[in-house]
Chain A
Amino acid sequence: MLLDVRNLQVKVEDKPILKGIDLKVDAGEVHAIMGPNGSGKSTLARALSGHPEYTVTGGEALYEGRDLLAMDPDERAREGVFMAFQYPVEIAGVNNAYFLKAALNAKRKHHGEPELDAVEFMQLVREKSKLLEIDQTMLSRAVNEGFSGGEKKRNEIFQMALLQPKLAILDETDSGLDIDALKIVAGGVNAMRAPERAIIVVTHYQRLLDYIVPDFVHVLSAGRIVKSGGKELALELEQKGYGWIEAA
Chain B
Amino acid sequence: MSTSTETIEELATREYKYGFVTDVEAETVPKGLSEEIVRLISQKKHEPEWLLEWRLKAYRLWLTMKEPTWQNVKYDPIDYQDIVYYSAPKKKKALNSIDEVDPEVKRTFDKLGIPLEEQKLLAGVAVDAVFDSVSVATTFREKLAKLGIIFMSFSEAVKEHPELVKKYLGSVVPYTDNFFATLNSAVFSDGSFVYVPKGVRCPMELSTYFRINAKDTGQFERTLIIADEGAQVSYLEGCTAPMRDENQLHAAVVELVAHDDATIKYSTIQNWYPGDKNGKGGIYNFVTKRGLAAGRRSKITWTQVETGSAITWKYPGCILQGDGSIGEFYSVATTNNWQQADTGTKMIHLGKNTRSTIVSKGISAGHGQNTYRGMVRVGKKATGARNYSQCDSLLIGDKCGAHTFPYLEIRNTTARVEHEASTSKIGEDQIFYCRQRGLSTEDAVNMIVSGFCKEVFRELPMEFAVEAQKLLSVSLEGSVG
Binding site for B on A (CB under 8 A): 49-53, 72-74, 76-78, 82-83, 85, 88-89, 91-94, 99-100, 102-104, 106-107, 110, 142-143, 159, 163
Closest residue on chain A to residue B449 by CB atoms: A93
Q: Is the CB–CB distance between A89 and B427 below 8 Å?
A: yes
Q: Is the CB–CB distance between A103 and B437 below 8 Å?
A: yes
Q: How large is the interface on B (under 10, 10 to 19, 20 to 34, 35 or more residues)?
A: 20 to 34
Partner of A163, one of B437, B440, B447, B452: B437
Give 26 A-B contacts (CB < 8 Å), ordered by A residue: A49-B436, A52-B428, A73-B435, A74-B434, A74-B436, A74-B438, A74-B439, A74-B440, A76-B436, A85-B433, A85-B436, A88-B433, A89-B429, A91-B451, A92-B452, A93-B452, A94-B447, A94-B450, A99-B434, A102-B439, A103-B439, A106-B437, A106-B440, A106-B443, A143-B451, A163-B438
Give every chain A residue within 8 A of B450 (Cβ-Cβ).
93-94
Q: Is the CB–CB distance between B436 and A53 below 8 Å?
A: no
Q: A74-B441, A85-B433, A102-B443 are in contact. Are A53 and B428 (CB under 8 A)?
A: yes
Check if B318 is an interface residue, CB within 8 A of chain A.
Answer: no
Give every chain A residue within 8 A of B448 (Cβ-Cβ).
91, 94
Interface hits, B299-339 → A, CB 8 Å = none
Give every chain A residue within 8 A of B439 (Cβ-Cβ).
74, 102-103, 106
Top 8 nearest A-B pairs by Cβ distance?
A93-B451, A94-B451, A103-B437, A93-B454, A77-B438, A74-B435, A106-B438, A73-B435
Check if B54 is an interface residue, CB within 8 A of chain A.
Answer: no
Binding site for A on B (CB under 8 A): 427-430, 432-441, 443, 447-448, 450-455
Most buried by B among A51, A74, A88, A159: A74
Give every chain B residue within 8 A of A88 (Cβ-Cβ).
433
Q: Is the CB–CB distance between B447 and A102 below 8 Å?
A: yes
Give every chain B residue within 8 A of A107 (Cβ-Cβ).
438
CB B435 to nearest CB in A, in angstroms, measures: 4
CB A10 to nearest CB in B, in angstroms, measures: 16
Q: Is the CB–CB distance between B438 and A110 below 8 Å?
A: yes
Q: Is the CB–CB distance between A92 and B451 below 8 Å?
A: yes
Closest residue on chain A to residue B428 by CB atoms: A52
CB A200 to nearest CB in B, in angstroms, measures: 14
Q: Is the CB–CB distance between B430 and A91 below 8 Å?
A: yes
Q: Is the CB–CB distance between A99 and B432 below 8 Å?
A: no
Give every chain B residue within 8 A of A74 (Cβ-Cβ).
434-436, 438-441
Give every chain A residue within 8 A of B435 (Cβ-Cβ).
50, 72-74, 77
Give every chain B residue within 8 A of A102 (Cβ-Cβ).
439, 443, 447
Give every chain B residue within 8 A of A143 (Cβ-Cβ).
451
Q: Is the CB–CB distance between B436 and A52 below 8 Å?
A: no
- Bound CA–CA A93/B426 (angstroms): 13
Q: A73-B435, A106-B443 are in contact. Are A89 and B451 (CB under 8 A)?
A: no
Give every chain A residue within 8 A of B452 (Cβ-Cβ).
92-93
Give every chain A residue within 8 A of B437 (Cβ-Cβ).
77, 99-100, 103, 106, 159, 163
- Bound CA–CA A160/B468 (angstroms): 32
Closest residue on chain B to residue A51 by CB atoms: B432
Closest residue on chain B to residue A83 by CB atoms: B436
Q: Is the CB–CB distance between B438 and A103 below 8 Å?
A: yes
Give every chain A residue within 8 A of B447 (Cβ-Cβ).
91, 94, 99, 102
- Bound CA–CA A88/B434 (angstroms): 11
- Bound CA–CA A52/B430 (angstroms): 12
